[in-house]
Structure 1
Amino acid sequence: MNTTNDRLAIKYKYLGLALNKLGNFAESSTKLKKALEIQSPLQNQSEIVTILSQIGQNYFKE
C-alpha cells in the first residue's frame, strides 16, 4: 500500500530527521563557539583546527 499519503509521511519523516541533525550540529557549533571564546587568544591554532576537523568527521559519520 504505497499511497500518496504514505509517500508524504516518509518524506516528512526524513525531513524531520534532517532538521534534527541540523539542529544538533547548530547546538554543538554554538557550544564550540562559546568554548573558543573562553580560550586564550594565544591558544595554539593547530589545536583548534584539529578539534574542528574531528567535529566535522563525527558529524558526517552520523
Structure 2
Amino acid sequence: MSGRFYRVTCPDCENEQIIYGKAATEVACAVCGHVLARPTGGKAVIEGEVTETVERRAEHA
C-alpha cells in the first residue's frame, strides 16, 4: 500500500483518531463530527494536528 496512516488530534474535542493519508471521502471525528480530512484526489488535506505516523503492524505467521 502506497499511502500512510496518521494519528490525528481533533482541534475541537482533542479526540485522537487514526486516518488514511489518501482518504477518498471526508473523514469526521468520531466524537464531535469535525472534519479531520478532506479528499483532493491524491493526498488528503488533514485539518487536525498530526501527532504520529502509524507504522505497519508486523504480520504473524
TM range, smaller chain? under 0.3
TM-score, structure 2 as length reference = 0.24
| Bigger RCO (CA 8 Å, 6+ sep) | 1
Which of these two proteins has the greater Rg computed from alpha carbons?
A: 1
**Which structure dedicates a bigger proportion of its chain to strand?**
2
TM-score, structure 1 as length reference = 0.24
**Which structure dedicates a bigger proportion of its chain to helix?**
1
